[in-house]
């Protein structure tokens, strides 16, 4: 095996995590994003309308969640307990990605 059998110089090499423009990660904190999407879809009545967007601002990663109109109350929960629990689990999942994230629920 030569040094060029693996890597970007090899025409058979593909890495879906890199974007075309900058060579950086296209999806930051993929484990955290997937955990967040799974948890929110499990709580809401309309899982098809759940959207999670990764926003990078000044070096920090924020996961913004939007849900259907009637589902925001389910995601927030009484006194914000469900939302806080989701944030805790997602932050733990982000540690597997080697990053820290914030979770915002967009109304």
Predicted confidence (pLDDT) per residue in 50-79, tens digit? 999 999 988 889 999 999 999 999 999 999
Token pair 């030569």 in the structure block, residue:
2
Evaluate whether residue 85 is within a structural domain.
yes
Evaluate whether residue 64 is within a structural domain.
yes
CATH assignment of the domain containing 95: 3.30.300.20
**Residue stretches of the chain with pLDDT short of 70:** 1-27
Strand partners, 102: 62
pTM of the full structure = 0.73
CA–CA distance, 97 with 91 (Å, rounded to integer): 10
Evaluate whether residue 10 is within a structural domain.
no
Print the domain residue range for 70: 30-106
Number of domains in the chain: 1
Evaluate whether residue 95 is within a structural domain.
yes
Indicate the pairing of strand 101-106 with strand 60-66: parallel
Evaluate whether residue 56 is within a structural domain.
yes
Evaluate whether residue 101 is within a structural domain.
yes
């Amino acid at each position: 095996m030569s040094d060029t059998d693996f890597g970007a110089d090899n025409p058979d090499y593909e890495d879906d995590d890199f974007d075309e423009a900058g060579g950086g990660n296209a999806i930051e904190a993929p484990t955290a994003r997937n955990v967040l999407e799974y948890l929110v879809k499990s709580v809401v009545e309309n899982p098809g309308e759940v959207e999670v967007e990764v926003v990078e601002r000044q070096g920090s990663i924020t996961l913004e969640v939007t849900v259907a109109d009637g589902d925001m109350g389910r995601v927030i929960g009484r006194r914000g307990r469900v939302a806080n629990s989701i944030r805790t689990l997602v932050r733990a999942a982000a540690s597997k990605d080697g990053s820290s994230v914030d979770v915002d629920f967009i109304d």
